[in-house]
């Protein structure tokens, strides 16, 4: 048994997430792929497996229930764009946990997009794709555009605005409550919810800033 399986299952229980054994195996295999590729491509600064579990996997898993909650009114099939995805956090985790969501992970670094493609093939995730591009150049439309420790809220919403579908929302994962970044947002971006997250085993503040285009009168 993978030594991280027990703490992963404990973390999932704390987050109230019911995943299949196959999904749990895929999450652990994904962590293994990050470890393997990081030796060559420096995907992440975190090298300790136990730390990877809390800082990467559980941190990303904490958004699954809030994301599901926001998408309760959505159509059966929808697309999510993970911007500046790097090693695929949270995009790959969302693709594993939510097979009904099509996830595209975009990064300007070719080797990181290639890693996502490799993950999709190795873990047989038909709903996952790595995209090597600048987010501003994308022409597809997405119901959710997400980011994790990517850029300021202003830059994130500005750069990805054209990729947001009609009535789409932004999901920005942040550490501490980003009051200054929120204050810098233009009038055409509306913050409709700031959601505090409790990440099992991670003694640090985390939140999601949910935004949508504002209707300008």
Backbone angles phi, psi at 20, to 5 degrees: -75, 165
DSSP designation for 133: S
Q: What is the pLDDT of residue 75?
A: 56
Question: Strand pairing partners for 129?
Answer: 104
**Cis peptide preceding 87, ω within 30 of 0:** no
Cα(17)–Cα(81) distance, integer angstroms: 22
Burial of 134 (0-12, 13-18, 19+ CB in 10 A): exposed
Q: What is the pLDDT of residue 74?
A: 58
**What's the pLDDT tens digit per position in 12-51?**
999 999 999 999 999 999 999 998 888 777 677 667 777 8
Binning pLDDT at 50, 70 and 90, where does residue 54 land? confident
Could you give the maximum distance between any two Cα atoms of the chain, in Å? 58
pTM of the model: 0.95
**What's the pLDDT tens digit per position in 157-193?**
999 999 999 999 999 999 999 999 999 999 999 999 9
């Amino acid at each position: 048994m993978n030594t991280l399986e027990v703490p992963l299952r404990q973390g999932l229980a704390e987050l109230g997430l019911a995943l299949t054994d196959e999904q749990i195996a895929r999450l652990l295999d994904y962590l293994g792929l990050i470890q393997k590729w990081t030796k060559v491509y420096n995907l992440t600064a975190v090298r300790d497996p136990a730390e990877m579990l809390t800082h990467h996997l559980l941190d990303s898993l904490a958004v699954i229930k809030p994301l599901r909650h926001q998408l309760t009114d959505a159509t059966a099939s929808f697309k999510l764009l993970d911007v500046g995805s790097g090693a695929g956090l949270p995009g790959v985790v969302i693709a594993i946990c939510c097979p009904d969501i099509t996830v595209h992970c975009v990064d300007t670094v070719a080797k990181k997009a290639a890693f996502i493609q490799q993950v999709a093939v190795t873990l047989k995730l038909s709903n996952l794709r790595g995209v090597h591009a600048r987010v501003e150049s994308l022409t597809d439309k997405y119901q959710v555009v997400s980011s994790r420790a990517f850029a300021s809220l202003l830059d994130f919403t500005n750069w990805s605005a054209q990729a947001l579908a009609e009535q789409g929302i932004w999901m920005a994962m942040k550490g501490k409550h980003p009051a200054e970044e929120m204050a810098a947002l233009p009038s055409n971006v509306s913050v409709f919810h700031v959601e505090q997250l409790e990440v099992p085993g991670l003694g640090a503040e985390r939140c999601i800033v949910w935004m949508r285009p504002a209707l300008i009168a």
